[in-house]
Amino acid sequence: MSITIVTDSFSRTYPRTVTSSEGSIVLRLMGAEDAGAVLAFAQALPAHDLLFLPRDITQPKVMSAWVRAIERGDIDSVLAVRDEAVLGCAAVIRDPHSWSSHVAELRVLAAPELRGSGLGHKLAREACALAIERGAEKLVARMTVDQRGAIAVFQALGFKPEALLGKHVKDRQGLTHDLVVLSQDVARFEAQMRAYGMGEALGG
């Protein structure tokens, strides 16, 4: 089944095939039926890759809560899949009832064997585009300061460091890590894109 999200500015169609230096990959929306495959993907990741997430998505009950949040419409999640194996995912998290209902948090994960292939960029762009379609006015992404790939991906999309939270995350060994929050103002971003004649920069 192909689902098209249509807004005044542009539309996104799922499933959709994109190419990275590692070949073609299908992007499609995540649903309840994907919980097992996403859990397997998460459980295969190095623990450090998951430090930016406040909840441990390697736990089945956390995955169930993720699926319920998708069904409620609080999270939009896109999977990168090939031959039914999950190779990456992007999520747009909003809290429509909070004082930050205009803010969307973007989360991106790529399989270690595909790092550097451009998949992370594609997923981050997809998350930005979905968040903007959902009406977000401000986008944020957080990661530990040593996640150089994540910082590179979001800075390439114009995100700037907005906050550094010292010793904010504690890993399973009890070691603390600093967290950086990058952000992007949607109106400024769209104005920049128009100025550069790149109104469809997030398309495709």
Ligand X SMILES: CC(C)(COP(=O)(O)OP(=O)(O)OC[C@H]1O[C@@H](n2cnc3c(N)ncnc32)[C@H](O)[C@@H]1OP(=O)(O)O)[C@@H](O)C(=O)NCCC(=O)NCCS
**Of 110, 131, 128, which is closest to residue 120 (Cα–Cα)?**
110
Report the nearest approach of ligand X to the CB of residue 6 (Å). Answer: 27
Report the nearest approach of ligand X to the CB of residue 8 (Å). Answer: 28
Report the nearest approach of ligand X to the CB of residue 51 (Å). Answer: 8
Peptide bond into 15 cis (omega under 30): yes
- How close are the terminal C-alpha atoms of the chain, in Å? 19
Report the nearest approach of ligand X to the CB of residue 54 (Å). Answer: 12
| Site of interaction with ligand X (CB under 6 A) | 49, 52, 107-110, 114-121, 141, 143, 147-150, 152-153
Instruction: Please identify, using beta-carbon distances, which residue of 67 and 143 lies nearer to ligand X.
Output: 143
Instruction: Please identify, using beta-carbon distances, which residue of 39 and 143 lies nearer to ligand X.
Output: 143
Strands (E), 30-175: 75-82, 85-93, 103-110, 138-144, 160-170
Report the nearest approach of ligand X to the CB of residue 14 (Å). Answer: 19
Instruction: Please identify, using beta-carbon distances, which residue of 72 and 148 lies nearer to ligand X.
Output: 148
Report the nearest approach of ligand X to the CB of residue 1 (Å). Answer: 27
Structure tokens at 33: 């039926």
Residue of closest CB approach to ligand X: 120
**Of 62, 58, 56, 94, which is closest to residue 76 (Cα–Cα)?**
94
Q: Judging by DSSP bridges, how do beta strands 11-14 and 138-144 pair with one another?
A: unpaired
Beta bridge partner(s), residue 59: none
Instruction: Please identify, using beta-carbon distances, which residue of 15 and 118 lies nearer to ligand X.
Output: 118
Instruction: Please identify, using beta-carbon distances, which residue of 7 and 19 lies nearer to ligand X.
Output: 19
Report how far residue 140's alpha carbon sits from residue 182's, in angstroms, rounded to the nearest whole number: 6
Instruction: Please identify, using beta-carbon distances, which residue of 49 and 126 lies nearer to ligand X.
Output: 49
